[in-house]
Each structure stands twice: as C-alpha cells, then as structure tokens.
Amino acid sequence: MSVEPMKLFFKEIKEPIETAMIGNYAVAGGVTQTDPDVICAFPITPQTQSVEGLSDVVHQGRLKAAFVNVESELAAISYSTAACAAGARTFTATASQGYLLMSEALPMAVGWRVPLTMMISARAFNAPNLSIWNSWEFVITDYGWNCIVSENVQETYDAAILSVMMSDNSLFPTMFVHDGFIISHSVQKLWLIPDEVVRKLTPRIPRHTITTERPGVWGGIVTPGFFMEGRMGLDIAKKSVLDVMKNSFAEFGKATGRHYKLIETYNLDNSSKTAFITMGSMCGNIISWMTKNKDIGLIKIRAYRPFPYEELQKIVQEHNIEKLIIFEKSDALNNLLPPFSTSIATALYPLKTLFRCFIVGLGGRDVTRDEFSVAKKKMESVNDMKGQLYMYLGVRETKDKIHGVNI
Amino acid sequence: MLTIEHIKEILNDYTVNLRFHARGGQGGVTASNLCVEAFYGYGVCQPKFGAERMGSPTESYVRLSANADLVRSNEQVYGPHFVSVLDPSLLTEVDVTAGIPRGGWLIVNTEMDQLTIQDAVKRKDINIATIDATRIALDILGRNITNTIILGALIRVSHLFTLEELSDAIMKRFKGEVAGKNIQAIKQAIEETCIYDMGIDPDFTVDSKVPWQQVSLGLPGYKDLDKAGVWYCDEDVIPVGSDQVNTGSWGEWEILWDEETCTNCAQCWFICPDFATLRKLGDDGKYHMSGIDVFHCKACQNCLNICPVQAISKRLKQGPAACAAPEEGGN
C-alpha cells in the first residue's frame, strides 16, 4: 500500500506542478527531491507523515536511500549525526519530547560541523499536561543549529530544499520548523519544483568525512588546554552563516521565483509606527487580519537561528518603528522574557524601541483576530519599559473571565 | 438561492467557509481536499486537529477566496456557510449546525425529508439540501463511499466551482474507471439534490465568529485549577478523557451477551480495552456479569473471541451503516 499524495514523487518531476497536500507530505516530497542517502527518524505526532512518506518512496524504489528504523529519538539523532559525518546526506525529523530526548546528541552535530537536516513539527512539551498540539518547543533550547521557520505548506516544502543548501554550504546542521497540526496537517496549495532544478540547487560538495584512508578521532577527549579553542572556532565559523543563508535564499529565488528573506516585512510604513513581530503560522493570521486593519505592520522572522540581529535593527531604524508587539508561542517561567522575545529584546537594546511580549497559542489554542486587536489596543497605552514585559493572552482566569481582557 | 455572479463577487473580498462532518474512513477529508483543488482561487483545508480513528466522528474545514491574503490565515474556521454531513447518524450525535450563520446551508446525505432534519437540528433559519448519496454510491460505485457525491449537492447550492472543475480535480486524484464513475455519480447527484430553500441567503460580509470563542469560557480557569496538571477522579474538574467519548457509535456491530450461557469466568472483563464489560457485586459476595456498556463498546470483538462458552455474539447495527469501508490509500 502506498501513501496517495506521495505518488507525485514516484517519478521524475519535469516541470513545476501545482498541487495541494499537507505540510508533512510536502516535506517528505521535498526531501525526496534532495536525494538523501540516509533517513533515520523515530515517529512522533505531529511529525509522523513526513517519515511515513519517505518510507514509501524508499519502498517503491524511487529513492535509493538507507531507511533506518531505530528505537528512540536519541538513537535517531546519534545515527544520523554519525551517518552524516561519514559523508551521507542525512535527514531526520522529530517534535516535542522527541526533541528533548535528542538533546544529548544535538550539540555534537554542531561540533562535528556535519550538514545534517532535521524537520520539526512544533509541539508542546508535556507539562503540566500531555498535549500533542502546537507550541514552540524548539526555541527553549539552543545548541547552535541553524533554524528556519515556515509560515505555510509552500514555505515548509521550500525549506526542506533550502535547509540542505544551507547545511551543505555552512557545514552546520539545519532544522526547519513548521507549526504542528496547523501546518503539518493542513492541506494547502503549493508549487513543486522540478527535480532537475533541485539537483542543481543541491549539488554534492566535497567535505571532511570519516574515511578508512585517513583515520582520525571524532569527538575525542581533550584537556582544558584545548577545549576553549574548539568552542571559539565554532563561534567564528558561525559568523558567516547568515550570509550563507542569504545566498541560499537568493539562489533559490532565482531558480524558482519564490524570493525569501531572513526577515520579511509587511506594511511597516504605517500611521501608528507599530508592528507585530512573530514567526510561523501566526504570520498568516496577522496578514489576513491586516487586510482590514491597515494602520499596523508585521515583521516576520524566517531565519530564527542564527538570529539576524543587525538585519532587525536596520529594519526598525529605517522604518522608524516605535513600538513592537511580540507574539510568542512559548513562555518564560524563570526569565524576564520568553526565548524568542529575549532575542528580539537583545537586538533592540541599543535602539530604545518599546515592546511588549504576548504569550499566545500554547498547546494548540487558536490565535485569532481577538488576540490581535486586544494586543494592539494594549500597546497604544504603553509608554515605557517598566513592569512585567510579557502577558498571557487568551487564557481563562475563571469560568467566565479571560485574563487581562474585559468582555 | 445564490447565483454564480453573486458568489463570484463575494469571493473577491470575503472568504467562504465550509465544514464536512463524516466518520473516520468515509473520506470527509478527501472531500474537503477536492474542494481546494477544484476551486479556481485560493483555498486551505484543515482537518479537525487531533486523533482520528475508523468510525469516529470527524470534521474538516475549508476556507476559499479569490483574495490570497484572506486565505493566508491559519485560523480555524468558526462560521461555516456550507456544512455537509456524510453520515446521517451524525445529525443527533454531533452539533452539526454549530456556528452556521443565518441563511447558511446544511447538506445532508439522507433519505429523510427536510422537515425531519429541521426538527432534528432545531434550526429554522438555515437552508437545507438533501441527497440520497448512499443509494447513488451503491448503484454506481458499488460501495458506500459518498464523499465525492455530496460535492455534487454542494455544487448545486453553492456554485463555488463547476462540474468541469471538480471533474478535473478528480481525474488528477483518481485513475481511469474510478474517476469516470465518480464523475457520473456527481452528475446524478447534481440532478437529484432536493432543495429546501428558506429564501434567506447567508451574509458573507459579517464575521460570524463569537469573540473569544477559542478560549472556551465556562471551563475552569487557571484560578480554579489549583493543582495544575493533576486532578482526582472524585473531583470531576476537567470534563475530558476517554470516559466522555462515545466510542460505542464507531463500530458497525452490536455486541450481545447471553446471561443464561455465561459462566462468569470474567475473561471478557480482563480483555476488554474499554472497560465496556459491566459487572455487579452479587449477594454472594462475588462479581457477576451484568451486561455491555453500549456507550463505550466499539465492537472490537475481543470478548467474542475469548469467550469459552459462546455467551457473546454480534449482529449488524440497525439503521445507517456506522462506518464505511476504508478508502484505497487511506487518509
């Protein structure tokens, strides 16, 4: 039995095709086109169909790849990192608790400079309750992976190809993220790229690999005399990654006509000098809402890691933005701000731009026009950076009261 | 009735929302996918997010517009203008009219007449269309798959896409004879749709979402939940959990228990995955079988297979088939 939407990828795609499919199958198709050698992942909702789709193309003989079944996410990332170090183009995928279980091996992919790619269907961590729905779990930990975030199915399909380009050219592992269920399980129209174009975009570049001709030690123990040099080496290498990403976006845009940027902006020269700033599927909600609310703008972060600090500063300065409304799908139990907002706050530090963070949509709660209009209204009376900088929005305080909202 | 010109004009500046009610395996999601593929403008289809199993009630949503920015929203669909129900047994089990604005359309696969449906859903301000899709499906396709056929009725009342556009989408998805038969069935459905028009058209320009609907007021807030994540069975704080789910409606079989033959060995009680085997403490201080919990029994037939004395039997449920054969390729 085969997975019906994957049939499109069983034969060579010769020209751009318009079709409609869910985010996860689109990613499976995109990964198929990049011709990986090894696919190793452990299924977890809501990531499952991406691996299911890939198992199908391998089973049908369309993709000559090793499809490796493992017993856990820790095994999946360990196997993938090693396979990638050995020279194979490798793909893995996970979500939520699986990402946590991978934690032990995630920094190693960065340290070894292997161009691994990983898909994440963002899903909440299980605390205090189990939830299979969407929150941004990937922002909470940061081990030095590149990270791009997608708004819709087209973007996540493109990201599957873009992340291979970025990984190969930067020699850092790249994860690409879409919101679990909201994108991973929604059917949207998208354009597929011809196989020939993908092949040209993702050529095999010679790189350091494990070989028997030149034996060596990977990740061996060092004394305090060496460790810091290794870490700083990584930091220096990371500096050029944003340029690599920019080039990948440009090259991709030239080949496909879909032009992405590290940060995308909408209607920033508005009368209120205020803008939303967020990433992922929520951007679409805001853009739809903005068709009737033209006095506000949107800054959409596409490249989340490395965080494009300078780029963001330039945008805020050029458009004279005075206030930013941050929407974030993760929270901060210990910190002044949640992780995504912390990055933005750091970038804004020299600029004195006013901002507030709104924590919304945890565990799959829908983020709607109600949240946007309340946040906009609340922002109008903000004149300083005093007090608590974040607030939860769309939470029941009691049975008949919503926290912070008068209804 | 809506006209083609009117709906085209609406689609330029507003969205048209659809909802499909079906049971897992009947192809409700495929039907909504076909809408997106057949529609000339922009569209997005979302299944109801969560777990779907064969026979369980499912919902999927479609948002269509000629304006790309309007469809870019990933919000859920709150006010569907057209609701299609693929299985009439859902009319009483699920609130199929939730969120339908005044003048919206309810399309049902049924042989019932419209007045009966109006009584069943208790709404007098919505238009109703019925189609006996099950009969057409059995006649033409040879099996009870009604998801494409109900789209014929949708074409008839909504004019969102034409038969030609839908045929193209079907040819892309299905091959050869299957595609041809589906198109033939849709043609017949367009002709046979019975329309019960109240003379009101839906107002597409009004946003029918209730403010803060997504926050589900009425459930306990964070101040009511003093032990976040932990709740005790005797407190009945959170009205969720498998206990609340009517898994009994999923299966196509009814499980019968014969008290005379039963020896109270309790093997069925141990093997039942849903605790649907009921026991009572008797006067003799021992537990005795007392029946089957039909609200939860989904007819997996484990008990039937394990019973050493054949005290358990099955029979096909009366009325509409609760669950159709799985689609080729699955969902």
- The predicted-structure confidence for A130-171, as pLDDT tens digits, reads as follows 889 999 999 998 999 999 999 999 999 999 999 999 999 999
Please tell me the distance in Å from B269's CA to the nearest CA on chain A.
28
Q: What angle do CA B180, B182, B187 make, to 5 degrees?
A: 95
Q: What is the mean pLDDT of residues A17-38?
A: 94
Does residue B331 have a pLDDT over 50? no
CB A146 within 8 A of CB A170: yes
Cβ distance B230 to A369 less than 8 Å, yes or no, reads no
- Residue with the larger pLDDT of the pair A31 and B49: A31
Does residue B29 have a pLDDT over 90? no
What the block records as the tokens of B149 is: 């056929």
Q: How confident is the model at residue B220 (pLDDT cuts 50, 70, 90)?
A: confident
Q: What is the mean pLDDT of residues A345-366?
A: 94
Q: How far apart are CA B149 and CA B133, in angstroms?
A: 6
Does residue B228 have a pLDDT over 70? no
Q: Give domain A4-256's CATH number out of 3.40.50.20, 3.40.50.1220, 3.40.50.740, 3.40.50.970.
A: 3.40.50.970
pLDDT for res B52: 67
What's B217's DSSP letter? Answer: B
Q: How confident is the model at residue B330 (pLDDT cuts 50, 70, 90)?
A: very low
Q: What is the mean pLDDT of residues B116-138?
A: 90
Does residue A351 have a pLDDT over 70? yes
Written as one letter, the residue type at A110 is V
**A109-135 per-position pLDDT tens digit:** 999 999 999 999 999 998 888 889 999
Within 13 Å and on the Cβ side, how many CA atoms surround B205?
3
Q: How confident is the model at residue B240 (pLDDT cuts 50, 70, 90)?
A: low
Does residue B137 have a pLDDT over 70? yes
Q: What percent of chain B has pLDDT over 90?
A: 41
pLDDT for res B329: 34
Interacting residues of B124 by C-beta distance below 8 A, sequence separation 6+: B118, B198
Does residue A86 have a pLDDT over 50? yes
Cβ distance A291 to B222 less than 8 Å, yes or no, reads no
**B263-322 per-position pLDDT tens digit:** 999 999 999 988 889 999 989 998 999 999 988 898 889 999 999 999 999 988 765 444
pLDDT for res A1: 55
What the block records as the tokens of A338 is: 């949640």
- Residue with the larger pLDDT of the pair A343 and B227: A343
Q: How far apart are CA A229 and CA A241, in angstroms?
A: 19
pLDDT for res B57: 86
pLDDT for res A106: 95
What the block records as the tokens of A349 is: 């530090």
Q: Which of A2, A152, A187 comes nearest B36 by C-beta?
A: A187
Which helix (H) or strand (E) element contains residue A344?
helix A339-348
A288: contact with B, CB 8 A cutoff: yes
pLDDT for res B176: 82
Interacting residues of A183 by C-beta distance below 8 A, sequence separation 6+: A23, A121, A150, A151, A152, A153, A156, A280, A281, B74
Task: Dump the DSSP string for A210-275.
Answer: --SSS---SS----TTTHHHHHHHHHHHHTTHHHHHHHHHHHHHHHHS----SEEEES-S-TT-EE
Q: Give domain A263-402's CATH number out of 3.20.20.330, 3.30.110.70, 3.50.50.60, 3.40.50.920.
A: 3.40.50.920
CB A126 within 8 A of CB A96: yes
Q: How far apart are CA A127 and CA A122, in angstroms?
A: 15
CB B132 within 8 A of CB B110: yes
Contacts of A291 in chain B (CB under 8 A): 67, 69-70
CATH 3.40.50.920 boundaries in chain A: 263-402
CB B65 within 8 A of CB B42: yes
Strand order from edge to edge, sheet including A38-40: A66-68, A38-40, A90-94, A117-122, A174-179, A146-149, A303-305
pLDDT for res B236: 65
pLDDT for res A352: 85
Dmax (CA) for chain B in angstroms is: 76
Does residue B118 have a pLDDT over 70? yes
pLDDT for res B51: 64
Residue A165: name the closest of A321, A16, A28, A33 by CA.
A33
Cβ distance B222 to A402 less than 8 Å, yes or no, reads no
Dihedral over Cα of B203, B205, B211, B212: its sign: positive
pLDDT for res B298: 86
Residue of A nearest to B43 (CA): A188
Does residue A332 have a pLDDT over 90? no
Does residue B174 have a pLDDT over 90? no
Q: What is the dihedral of CA A131, A134, A140, A146, to 10 degrees?
A: 140
pLDDT for res B274: 82
- The CATH architecture of the domain made up of B242-316 is 2-Layer Sandwich (3.30)
Q: How far apart are CA B81 and CA B18, in angstroms?
A: 6
Q: Which of B37, B71, B223 comes nearest A397 by C-beta?
A: B223
- How many CB atoms neighbour CB A109 within 10 A? 30
* Ranges of each domain in chain B: 4-205, 242-316
Check whether domain B4-205 has CATH 2.40.170.20, yes or no? no
What's A7's DSSP letter? Answer: G
Contacts of A19 in chain B (CB under 8 A): 37, 172
pLDDT for res B320: 44
| Three-class DSSP category at B299 | coil
pLDDT for res A360: 96
Q: Per mean pLDDT, which range of A102-111, A371-380, B112-121, B246-255 is the poorest?
A: B246-255
Q: Where are the alpha helices (DSSP H) in chain B?
A: 4-13, 28-38, 68-71, 90-93, 114-121, 133-136, 147-158, 163-173, 176-192, 267-271, 302-306
Average pLDDT of chain B to the nearest whole number = 86
CATH 3.40.50.970 boundaries in chain A: 4-256
Cβ distance B50 to A132 less than 8 Å, yes or no, reads yes
Interacting residues of A207 by C-beta distance below 8 A, sequence separation 6+: A87, A115, A168, A171
* Overall size of chain B counted in residues: 331
Mutate to test the interface with A, among B49, B219, B227 (most CBs of A within 10 A): B49
Mutate to test the interface with B, among A52, A288, A292, A371 (most CBs of B within 10 A): A288
Cβ distance A187 to B32 less than 8 Å, yes or no, reads yes
Question: What is the interface pTM, i.e. ipTM, of the complex?
Answer: 0.84
Q: Which of B45, B214, B222 comes nearest A186 by C-beta?
A: B45
**A249-276 per-position pLDDT tens digit:** 999 999 999 999 999 999 999 999 999 9
**A177-206 per-position pLDDT tens digit:** 999 999 999 989 899 999 999 999 999 999
Q: How far apart are CA B113 and CA B132, in angstroms?
A: 10
Q: What is the mean pLDDT of residues A322-351?
A: 94
Q: What percent of chain B has pLDDT over 70?
A: 90
